[in-house]
Structure 1
Amino acid sequence: MTPAALADLVRAVAVDVLTSRDLDDTALPPAVTIERPRNPEHGDYATNLALQVAKKIGVAPRDLAGWLADALVGRDGVAAADVAGPGFVNLRLAADAQGQIVREVLERGSGYGHGDALAGRRINLEFVSANPTGPLHLGGTRWAAVGDALGRVLAAQGAEVVREYYFNDAGAQIDRFVRSLVAAARGEAPPEDGYAGGYLSDVAAAVLREEPNALSLSPDECAEAFRRIGVGLMFEEIKRSLHEFGTDFDVYFHEDSLHASGAVSEVVEELKAHEHLYPAEGAWWLRSTEYGDDKDRVVIKSDGAPAYIAGDIAYFRDKRRRGFDLCIYMLGADHHGYIARLKAAAAALDDDPDVVEVLIGQMVNLVSEGRPVRMSKRAGTVVTMEDLVDAVGVDAARYALIRSSVDATLDIDLDLWSKRSNDNPVYYVQYAHARLSSLERGAADLGIKVPDGVADVDLSLLTHPREGDLVRTLGEFPKVVATAAALREPHRIARYLEELASAYHKFYDACRVLPQGDEEATPLTTARLALCAATRQLLGNGLGLLGVTAPERM
C-alpha cells in the first residue's frame, strides 16, 4: 500500500467514523497527511488527522484518534493502529500491503513518481539567458543544471514545459563586447569598461578568419562585422557548452527581434494610451509603484531610446501571446528588483501578476584545499562552466549544483566532488545503482531472475526491518517529486536519492539477496530481487529527473 493509498483509506474510514456518530464529515480536509515517524518503533506511518479535525467538530483529539485507530485495525493492509501523544494515530502495515509499493514501482517503471498535478498547464521556463559576451560563469552554470532539472520535474507532473533562453543581443553590454573584440584583434588592451580574458583573442581571430578585411573597414562597418560574427560565435559556443553539460533549450529567443519587429514600440504605445506611462524629466515612466514596485521605472529614456525594461514588457507580452499560462524566470542574485517590476509590467498590461514567477539563484564559489578558486584559464577572474566540468565532470557538477537550495550561496569543494568514494554524494547514489545492476547480473549468472510480472512474487516475505525501511522509502518518491515541482525545488530529489541509497546499502548489509555455494534460490530470494529491481528503477528515475547518468558499472 502506497502512502497515497493509505491516505485515501484513512480518509474513507474517517468519513465512516464521523457519519456513524452524527458528526460533520465536511470538516475533513480534501487530502489526509501521512508521514513516516522519525522513530520506526512508533510505526510505519502516522497521521495527524484527529488533531486537524477534532476542534472543528467539538470532540477531544485523543478521542477522535482512538475512534479512528479502532476503525482502521482490521482494514485490509493495516496490521496495527495506536494513539500517540495529543492525538496522532500511528499505523503499522501488513508486510503484503507494504509489498504493493514494490509491485507498483515495477509495474509503472519509468513512470513511477509521475503525477498529473500540473496537467493542462503551459509553462514557459526561462533560465540561463546569459549575455553572449563570454563563456558561461558559475551563476549561469547553476541555473543550467537547476533549470533543466526543474523543467524535467514540472513535466513529470504533467505540465507542458518550454525551456527558453533569452538571447540578449541588444544593448550596452553587446557594444562593450564588440569594442573589446576590436581591441583584441588590433592587439590592444581592452577598453576601460570592456571585457577581459583569453577567449576574446580567440573570438577576434575567428572573426578575422571569416572577414579578413574587417579592421580596414570604416569604424561603423568594422564594429558591425565584429558584432555580427563575434556575437554569433560566442552564442554558438555557449550553446555547445550547454549541450555538453546536458542542457538544451526548445526556444532561443533573440531580444533584438522585439525591437526589429516593432513589438517594443507597440507595447509602449499601448501603455501610453492606457496612461500606465507618464512623461517626466524628458523620459517616459511606468507607474510601477501602483503595482507593488519600490519606485517607478523609466521605460523610454530622455534620449528616446528604450530602457531595458521596455524589452522585458514586450517579451512578457510575447510569451502570453504564445499561450503560456505561467512564465517562470530564473534570475541571478543581483536581480531581486526584477520580481516587483516584472509583476508590475504584467499588471500594467491588465494581466494577472501571478502569471509571473521569479526564482532568484545565489552565487556559487569553488573551493580547493580549503581556499577559493578564483582564476579561470580563459575568462580572467571569472570561473566558468568549463572550469567546473574540467575539475569534477558533468555528472558531479550537475548534481553538486542541484543538490542545494538556490536560495543559499553554494561552495563547491572540488576535492570532495572529484573523489570516487562514498564521501562524494553523487558517487554514493550512482554506486548504489551500479551495485544493484551488478546484483542483477549476478542473479542472471545463477539462472535467477524476477518473473516478467511480479504477480507471483510473494512480497509478504519482506518482513526484515531493513526491508521495511527500504520499501517505505520507495513509497515516498511520488510525494517527493510532487513537492519538488510545487515548490520549484529539485534539490529535494537529490536529497531523497541519498536517503534511498542509504536505505539500500543498509538493507544489503543486513539481508543476503543471492544464494551462496550450493544453496538454492527460495521465494525470499525472488522477493528480495524484486525489491532490488524496484530500488534500481527509482534510483534511475530520480537521477534522470536531475539529468545525471545512472551507470551500470563503476
Structure 2
Amino acid sequence: MTPVELSRTVLRALRAAVDAGELAVAVPERAHVERPRPGGRGDYASNLALRLAREAGAPPLRVAGILAAQLAAEPGVARADVTGPGFLSITLDGEPGAGLVRDVLARGERYGHAEADTGERVQLHVPYELRAVVVADSARRILRSQGALVRVTCDAAPDPAWGEVLGVRVDGHGPPPTPLPTLRPVPAPAHPDPLRLGRDAARWALLHPAAHDRPDTGDGHLAQRETNPLFRVRYAHARTRALLRNAADLGFAPEPGDVPAEDGPHPLLGALGDHPAVLAAAARHRAPDRLARHLVITADAFLAGAHTVLPRGDEKPSAAHRARLALAEATGTVLAGGLSLLGISAPAYL
C-alpha cells in the first residue's frame, strides 16, 4: 500500500466511524500520513485524531482509539496502535517498501502528481525582479502538477535574457486591473549576476533558499563537490542510472521487494513516501524551496546506501540486490521529476 492509498484508507476508516455514529465530524479531503519519527512504531503515522479532537468534542486518545479499531479492519492494514497524545501508528501487511517502489515506477516522473485537473485556477502576480519571476515559474510547474491551472503575470515585461538563459515565461505584464496578491520573495543580491551561472545553477541558487532568505549566487553552485547541494542531487540521479547500466552488464534487473532487515531503518523509503505530500505543500504555499530541500534529503539518503546496491567481488546477484536496485531506480525517477518541476535538468551522466 502506497502513502496515497493509505491516506485514502484512513479517510475510509473515518467515514466508517462517522457512519456508525462513533464520531460526529466532517471528513476532510485528505489525511496526512508520514513515516514515523525516530523511535516511533509501525510503517506510517498520522495525526488525524489530534486534528479532529476539538470538532469531535472528545479527547484525542479516544478519537484515535476509534480510528484505530476501524483501521485494523481495513484490507492491507496489519494493525493500528495509538501512541503519544493521540497519534495513529499503522503497520501494513505484506511489503510496504515494495508497494511504494512499484507505485513510483508505475507513475514515473508523475509520481506525486494529481491524477486529473482539479479545476482550481491560480493567478500569480510578481514584481519586475529576477528571483520573483523564477520562483513564480517554478511555482506554476508545481501547482500544475497538483491539477491547478495557473497564470503568471509581472509588473513589467521580463528582460529577454531571463527567458533565454533561465527558461522563464510570463503570461502577461503590466499593472493588474484589480489588486492581486503578489508573490514577493526577498530580491537576489545585485551582484554577482546569477545569469552567468547558466540555467541549472542559477535556478537552483534562486529557488533553494526559503523566500525570506537572501540567496547566494556565488560560483559554489558550479562546484562538483559534496558541499554543493545541487551537485549532490544531480550526482545521485546520475548514480542511479549508472547502477542500472552496471546491473544490466551483470545480467540482472530491478525487482521491487522489501529492503533487507539488516539494512535497518531506511530513510530513503521515508523520503520517497513523503514526496507527494511535499509537492502538495510546495504548491499550497507557493514555495519551490520546499521541494528543492526535499530533493537534497532524498539524494543524501540514497547516497548513504548506494554502495550496497550491486554485488561485490564474487557475490552473486540476490533478491536483496534486485530490491535495492529497484529502490535506486525509483529514487532516480523522483529526483528527475522533482528537478524538472524546478526547471533544472537531470543528466544521466555526470
Q: TM-score, normalised by structure 1?
A: 0.57
Question: Aligned partners of 1:488 and 1:73: how far apart in 2?
Answer: 37
Question: Which of 142, 147, 154 lines up with 1:158 in the alignment?
Answer: 147
CA change 1:496–1:86 in 2 (3 A) is: same
Q: How does 1:67-146 map to 2 (within 5 A)?
A: 67-73=66-72, 75-94=74-93, 96-115=95-114, 119-127=118-126, 129=128, 140-146=129-135
Q: Is the 8 A contact 2:34 2:273 kept in 1?
A: no
Give the partner amino acid of 1:402: L
Question: Within the alignment, does 1:35 sit opposite 2:21 as a pair?
Answer: no
CA change 1:61–1:419 in 2 (3 A) is: same
Deviations 1:409-431 (A, max 9, x none): 41416253242211111111111
Decide which structure has the larger Cα Rg and report it: 1
Q: Is the 8 A contact 1:363 1:409 kept in 2?
A: no
Q: How does 1:216-365 map to 2 (within 5 A)?
A: 238-249=159-170, 251=171, 253=173, 312=175, 315-316=176-177, 342-343=178-179, 356-365=180-189
Question: Aligned partners of 1:537 and 1:162: how far apart in 2?
Answer: 28
Q: Is the 8 A contact 1:95 1:463 kept in 2?
A: no
CA change 1:515–1:395 in 2 (3 A) is: same
Q: How does 1:438-517 map to 2 (within 5 A)?
A: 438-450=242-254, 457=255, 459-460=257-258, 463=261, 468-509=266-307, 512-517=308-313
Which residue is 2:51 aligned to? 52
Deviations 1:495-545 (A, max 9, x none): 110111122122325xx2122333332222222211111110000000000
Q: Is the 8 A contact 2:256 2:327 kept in 1?
A: no
Deviations 1:327-363 (A, max 9, x none): xxxxxxxxxxxxxxx53xxxxxxxxxxxx32112213
CA change 1:409–1:72 in 2 (3 A) is: closer
CA change 1:63–1:158 in 2 (3 A) is: closer
Deviations 1:223-242 (A, max 9, x none): xxxxxxxxxxxx8xx31443
CA change 1:12–1:418 in 2 (3 A) is: same
Deviations 1:156-192 (A, max 9, x none): 1223334445546xxxxxxxxxxxxxxxxxxxxxxxx
Q: Secondary structure at the match of 2:181?
A: strand
CA change 1:15–1:395 in 2 (3 A) is: same
Q: State the shift of 1:436 in Å.
A: 1.0
Q: State the shift of 1:124 in Å.
A: 4.6
Give the partner amino acid of 1:397: A
Give the partner amino acid of 2:191: V
Q: State the shift of 1:76 in Å.
A: 3.4
Question: Aligned partners of 1:465 and 1:27: how far apart in 2?
Answer: 41
Which residue is 2:194 aligned to? 388
Give the partner amino acid of 2:169: D
Question: Aligned partners of 2:334 and 2:340: how far apart in 1?
Answer: 9
For structure 1, which runs of at least 5 residues remain unmatched after alignment? 130-139, 169-234, 256-311, 317-341, 344-355, 366-381, 451-456
Give the partner amino acid of 1:389: L
Q: Secondary structure at the match of 1:107?
A: helix
Q: State the shift of 1:243 in Å.
A: 1.5
Question: Aligned partners of 2:101 and 2:52: how far apart in 1?
Answer: 32
Q: Is the 8 A contact 1:466 1:506 kept in 2?
A: no
CA change 1:80–1:462 in 2 (3 A) is: farther
Give the partner amino acid of 2:282: A
Deviations 1:36-77 (A, max 9, x none): 333253333222233333454454432342343344346433
Question: Aligned partners of 1:89 and 1:410: how far apart in 2?
Answer: 39
Q: State the shift of 1:464 in Å.
A: 5.3
Q: TM-score, normalised by structure 2?
A: 0.87
Q: Secondary structure at the match of 2:182?
A: strand
For structure 2, which runs of at least 5 residues remain unmatched after alignment? none
Q: Secondary structure at the match of 2:167?
A: coil
Which residue is 2:16 aligned to? 16
Indicate the larger mover: 540-549 or 439-448.
439-448
Give the partner amino acid of 1:11: L
Q: Secondary structure at the match of 2:225?
A: coil
> How much identity, in percent, do the aligned residues show?
35
Deviations 1:142-163 (A, max 9, x none): 1232122112112212233344
Give the partner amino acid of 1:5: E
Deviations 1:85-117 (A, max 9, x none): 222222233451332211111111122121168
Question: Aligned partners of 1:124 and 1:27: how far apart in 2?
Answer: 29
Give the partner amino acid of 2:309: V
Q: State the shift of 1:34 in Å.
A: 2.1
Q: Is the 8 A contact 1:364 1:409 kept in 2?
A: no
Q: Is the 8 A contact 2:25 2:52 kept in 1?
A: no
CA change 1:541–1:530 in 2 (3 A) is: same
Count of matched residue positions in the alignment of Structure 1 and Structure 2: 350
Root-mean-square deviation (Å): 2.9
Which residue is 1:148 aligned to? 137
Q: State the shift of 1:449 in Å.
A: 2.3
Which residue is 2:210 aligned to? 405
Give the partner amino acid of 1:446: L
Which residue is 2:230 aligned to? 426
Question: Aligned partners of 1:61 and 1:447: how far apart in 2?
Answer: 53
